[in-house]
Amino acid sequence: MSEPEDEVKLPARHLDEMTCLLYIDRQLDRARGLEVSAHAADCANCRTLLRALERESRLMTRSMLEEDEPLPSRLAAFQEQARKSMQWIWGLVFGLAATGVYALYEGYVQPWQQKLDEAGFGGSNLLSLMIFQGAFWKGWQSMLTLIEVLALVTVGLFCAAYFRRRIRRGSALALVVAGLCGAFAVPAPVAASELRHADTITIAKSEKIKGDLFVTAGRCRIDGDVDGDVFAFCQAVDVNGHVTGDVIGFAQSIHVSGVVDGNIRVGCNNLTLSGTLGKNVLAFGDSLRIDSDAKAGGSATVFGGTTSIDGTVGRDILSFAGLLSINGAVGGNLKAKGETLAIGPTAKIQGSSEFEGKKAPEVAAEAKLGSPVKFTKTERKPEYRSGHYYVWQVIWGAAFVLFGLVLFVLMPEFSRQATRSAERIGASLGLGVLVGCGLPIAALIACVTVVGLFLGLSTFFLWYASLYFAQIIVGALLGQWLMGRTDELWPRIGRMIVGLLLARLCFLIPHVGGWLKFGVIIWGIGAISLALYRRMQPVVAAGIPPMASPMPPAAPIGGMQPA
Amino acid sequence: MSAPGISEPTEAIAKARAGDPEAWGTLFHDYAPAMFRFCRRALPTREDAEDATMEIFIKLRRNLGQYDSTRSFSAWLYKVAANHCWDILRRRKVRQDKETEDVENVPLEHPDPSALDKMIEERSSDEVRKALEKLGARARMALVMRYYSDMSYDEIADELGVRRQFVGVVLLRARHELRKALEGTAALTAGGRA
């Protein structure tokens, strides 16, 4: 901090502005005040300054006192009588929002759903449709490019946010940017692996790759040998050669007609195995087929829409498939859960067979089974009649409390604001209907476009998380109503726990509980949205930034200044 | 120091303390506009001011028992309001403090009295309010406390957490900021006319 004398530029032998201000604000002692009066009587310049400052004070007072805005209706509604008369507005908002969402569903979502159903993509296959169908996006290559760009942008934004408040000089900023560029430019450590990235990749029959192979491409064909694992992120993968390790892939279709010594672990729309597999297959997909001339040495674990096993599986089969059809040989046990199980005449199952589903399995008389199929029919009975239901409710309650605890500790200010927003019940419910129903629709629309897939899925996951957060916020408000308001963190957490457990108890009420839960979720989502909206409002008006503390005495107090 | 046109509401306070909702309604009715205006001048957005006014009255209802009836009710009310608004601003501006150090150290130019007098003569209340919105949190808060609610230097020092002898500096710097903002407003107006 520099000396005051250096800071103020004054003409010779006039009153400084600070003295004048203290004089008109009557903050000078009597003797000093008389000195200023005497000087002002003789000095026209200082008299003008005193008058200007006084007029400035009056102008400010007048400007601030003027009633330029009427009292907001929300404040007028603070009085009980007025508040009652305003209730219908929220009812109207709520009704309009619900009508809007219903119209949106009837007009856009339902027709789309019907079209998708007609095209063979039922609701259960929607994830598969979004992630693996090439009709809606170009494939993993473009996806990876998008993820790379997003990752870099995210890193850039983090760096900018982190260094923004620490760096104000251009040279320092340049140093940081140069450092980051240098860090990105450092070559990656050399590994015994090969990375290929192109539209179409073909490993020729004569080609031999030592080590693991990482492939991102539109189409990948492996006719040669890979002495290691294959990691493929492609639209279509064909393995016709020999892979000594595992095949791990995400693709629209994967076809293995060659030899894989290790395992196959894939997530895809169609998997066809017609070659030889040394170990196990684990597959998530819509359609999975093990051809009649295919051999899998280990077990098969499949999660899919339609699974057909015509070849040989050396060990057990564990299946969670809509339709499972077996016409091949199974060396171990069969355990399946799904809609339908069909065991054909050429099937041979050495171990036991268990099936849990809605319909009894269709077993051909010629099929050779180690033991008859043990069938358990899936029955739906009211959940609340079983003891397990209550055990799970306790576990869920504890999980909620833990989740709430973490959120309140990590985001104390935001959770406080969200709880406060929840006090505005009408606004929260209205906004909750819009956001709670509109956000997943928006996410879905984003998902079916190429560019918006990442954004859409992120939005969807955020929305899903908010379903839980919403209950915590409303729980916190209920606790506050029961135990009184507080601004301290731990008492607020205590109130949140009490309110949350109470709300979850109410959710257990048969028939009504579900609706209560729905209402609470809508209410909470609205409160969160309201708090987020408030948070995004400008903090301080543009222009001069706010002052920091403490304020240094940059201008001197008292006395005429020498030239 | 009182809300314009309102004498001390001794009777209403006594009744409100005794839990009379009518008396509480009267107090709210009489003081809410002045409180809202105070918050509107001190806080950045209208929504903030609405929220703050509600919260101040909730606080007031809870703490009415602490009011010393030998003192001015309006003065006490403004003190509560100033405290609340400054709390809000202080919480928000923690992250901005580092950015403002340079502004703090800029030396103040001695004004040309005639030019200053002329500028004040030409400015309207509306322009001053717009300029006020452009000020930093501390500057705006200081001006509002001093020139809206007529708080003393001691009270301002108390609220802002600065030493008493710095209050003059805070106010003077705030005036300089306001003049700068007024010049900007004038330039905009001139540009708009052109």
Q: Lowest mean pLDDT of A186-200, A224-238, A519-533, B67-81, name the range.
A: A186-200
A409 touches chain B (CB under 8 A): no
CA distance B70 to chain A (A): 25
Read off the pLDDT band of A42 (50, 70, 90): confident
**B21/A80 touch (CB, cutoff 8 Å), yes or no:** yes
**B166/A25 touch (CB, cutoff 8 Å), yes or no:** no
**Which ipTM score applies to this complex?**
0.86
CA distance A410 to chain B (A): 17
Q: Kindly report, residue by residue over A468-527, the tens digit of the pLDDT.
A: 889 999 999 999 888 877 767 788 888 888 998 888 888 888 778 888 999 999 999 999
Q: What is the predicted pLDDT for the residue at B144?
A: 94
CB-CB contact of A289 with A308 (8 Å): yes
Nearest to B144 among A64, A550, A552 (CB): A64
What sign for the dihedral angle of Cα A428, A433, A437, A442?
A: negative
**A549/B45 touch (CB, cutoff 8 Å), yes or no:** no
pLDDT at A269 > cutoff 60: yes
**A18/B169 touch (CB, cutoff 8 Å), yes or no:** yes
A25 touches chain B (CB under 8 A): yes
Three-class SS of residue A214? Answer: strand
> What residues of B are in contact with residue A65 (Cβ under 8 Å)?
4, 37, 148
CA distance A282 to A267: 9
Q: Which of A210, A201, A211, A281 is nearest to A233 (CA)?
A: A201
| Helices assigned H by DSSP within A201-341 | none
A182 touches chain B (CB under 8 A): no
**A552/B105 touch (CB, cutoff 8 Å), yes or no:** yes
A57 touches chain B (CB under 8 A): yes
Q: Kindly report, residue by residue over B117-139, the tens digit of the pLDDT.
A: 888 888 888 899 989 888 888 89
**B117/A9 touch (CB, cutoff 8 Å), yes or no:** no
Rounded mean pLDDT of A452-468? Answer: 81
CB-CB contact of A436 with A520 (8 Å): no
CB-based contacts of B94, cutoff 8 Å, min separation 6: none
> What residues of B are in contact with residue A552 (Cβ under 8 Å)?
104-105, 169
Nearest to A547 among B48, B100, B165 (CB): B100
CB-CB contact of A334 with A321 (8 Å): no
**B104/A57 touch (CB, cutoff 8 Å), yes or no:** no
Nearest CA in chain B to A59: B125
**A48/B165 touch (CB, cutoff 8 Å), yes or no:** no
Q: Kindly report, residue by residue over A121-157, the tens digit of the pLDDT.
A: 444 444 444 444 444 444 444 554 555 555 555 556 6
Q: How many Cβ atoms are within 10 Å of A401's Cβ, its own excluded?
A: 18
Interface test mutation site (partner B, options A5, A39, A419, A551, max chain B beta carbons within 10 A) = A551
> What residues of B are in contact with residue A74 (Cβ under 8 Å)?
50, 54
CA distance A58 to chain B (A): 8
**B103/A545 touch (CB, cutoff 8 Å), yes or no:** yes
Query: Strands, E, within B37-169: which ranges?
Result: none
Alpha-carbon separation of residue B154 from A46, B84, B151, B168 (angstroms)? 27, 18, 8, 11
CA distance A285 to A298: 19
Q: Lowest mean pLDDT of A210-219, A341-350, B14-23, name the range.
A: B14-23
For residues B27 and A152, which has the higher predicted lDDT (pLDDT)?
A: B27
Residue A445 DSSP class: H
Nearest to A18 among B48, B135, B172 (CB): B172
CA distance A228 to A215: 13
Query: Strands, E, within A310-454: which ranges?
Result: 312-313, 317-326, 329-330, 334-343, 348-349, 353-357, 362-363, 368-369, 373-377
Interface test mutation site (partner B, options A60, A83, A164, A530, max chain B beta carbons within 10 A) = A60
> What residues of B are in contact with residue A23 (Cβ under 8 Å)?
none
A534 touches chain B (CB under 8 A): yes
CA distance A300 to B176: 79
A71 touches chain B (CB under 8 A): yes
> What residues of B are in contact with residue A69 (Cβ under 8 Å)?
37, 40, 46
A206 touches chain B (CB under 8 A): no
> What residues of B are in contact with residue A544 (Cβ under 8 Å)?
103, 134-136, 139, 177, 180-181
Q: What is the predicted pLDDT for the residue at A141?
A: 46
Is the whole model's pTM more than 0.80, yes or no? Answer: no
Q: What is the mean pLDDT of chain A?
A: 75
